[in-house]
Amino acid sequence: SAIKLDNKKINEIKKNLESKLNKKLEINNKIDPDILGGIIVKTEGLTYDSSLKMQLTKIKENILKG
Predicted TM-score of the model (pTM) = 0.76
Note the pLDDT of residue 32.
95
Note the pLDDT of residue 66.
77
Binned average pLDDT, 10 residues per bin, the chain of 66 residues: 93 92 90 94 88 96 92
Note the pLDDT of residue 55.
95
Note the pLDDT of residue 11.
94
* CA dist., res. 53 & res. 57, Å (int): 6
Strands (E), 1-66: 40-43, 46-49
Note the pLDDT of residue 51.
96
Note the pLDDT of residue 46.
85
Radius of gyration of the chain (CA): 14
